């Protein structure tokens, strides 16, 4: 293991010191102490680009960036731990009522088509989360109430952000899904095998 004190040095000096250390000593673990957030990010990027697993800890006003060389066996373990292909839990997070930027009319049409097509994911589709403008898809007047109800009756849980409904004054207009909070959303994300953001 090697340690470098790069406090008091301006970018890119901390990265250059780390580079020199790798080239000379080729350590498995390298710890670099820096005194500003930019140097912390730069050193982390550098170590990542050289195949290190990187973490950082705050030490008073300073940061210690720690990199550990990824071992071949470790990579192997990761591959083995990948979930079986037939047991996926896909969470779709919908934070808008239209798909993409550009033309709004097109975006709304695309969203309708997206929701209607989601069922093609079959049993892999697990939960839908609606936040911000996305909650408007779950209220009176939405064009996708029917396909959403169909997904719900097929066992897909639909979570709708309560704070968001409240913000838009739509709490009493919601016609599909259950009102939820951020803790539920974060927990669902953690349990999911894949999160798709729209």
Partner 1 sequence: MASPETINLVTRLMATLNKDAATVMKNYPVHACTDITGFGLLGHLAEMVIDSNSGIQLMADQVPIMPEALEYARMGLFPVGAYKNREFRESMVRFSPAVDLLVQDILFDPQTSGGLLMAVGREKADELIEELKAKGIDQAAVIGEVAAEPAATILVF
User: Rounded to an integer, what distance in angstroms lies between the CA atom of residue 176 and that of residue 117?
Assistant: 18
CB of 36 to partner 1, least distance (A): 7
User: Rounded to an integer, what distance in angstroms lies between the CA atom of residue 108 and that of residue 155?
Assistant: 26
CB of 191 to partner 1, least distance (A): 22
Pairing between strand 52-59 and 90-94? unpaired
Contacts of 104 by beta carbon, 8 Å cutoff, 6+ apart: 98
Residues that bind partner 1 (CB under 8 A): 10-12, 15, 19, 36-39, 41-46, 49, 101-102, 104, 197
CB of 84 to partner 1, least distance (A): 27
Nearest to partner 1 of 41, 179 (CB atom): 41
CB of 38 to partner 1, least distance (A): 4
CA quadruple 96, 102, 104, 107: dihedral, nearest 10: -60
Nearest to partner 1 of 52, 180 (CB atom): 52
Nearest to partner 1 of 73, 101 (CB atom): 101
Nearest to partner 1 of 44, 129 (CB atom): 44
**Chain centre to alpha carbon of residue 181:** 18
CB atoms inside a 10 Å sphere around CB 158 = 20
């Amino acid at each position: 293991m090697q340690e470098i004190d790069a406090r008091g040095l301006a970018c890119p000096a901390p990265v250059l010191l780390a580079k020199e250390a790798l080239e000379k000593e080729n350590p498995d673990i390298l710890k670099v102490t820096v005194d500003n957030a930019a140097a912390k990010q730069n050193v982390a990027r550098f170590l990542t680009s050289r195949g290190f697993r990187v973490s950082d800890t705050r030490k008073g006003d300073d940061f210690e960036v720690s990199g550990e060389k990824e071992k071949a066996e470790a990579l192997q373990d990761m591959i083995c731990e990948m979930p079986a292909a037939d047991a996926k839990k896909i969470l779709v997070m919908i934070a808008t009522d239209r798909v993409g930027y550009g033309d709004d009319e097109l975006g709304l049409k695309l969203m309708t088509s997206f929701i209607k097509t989601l069922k093609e994911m079959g049993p892999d589709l697990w939960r839908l989360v609606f936040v911000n403008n996305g909650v408007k898809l779950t209220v009176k007047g939405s064009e996708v109430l029917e396909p959403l109800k169909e997904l719900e009756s097929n066992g897909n849980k639909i979570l709708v952000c309560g704070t968001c409904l409240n913000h838009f004054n739509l709490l009493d207009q919601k016609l599909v899904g259950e009102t939820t909070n951020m803790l539920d959303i974060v927990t669902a994300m953690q349990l999911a095998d894949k999160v798709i953001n729209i």
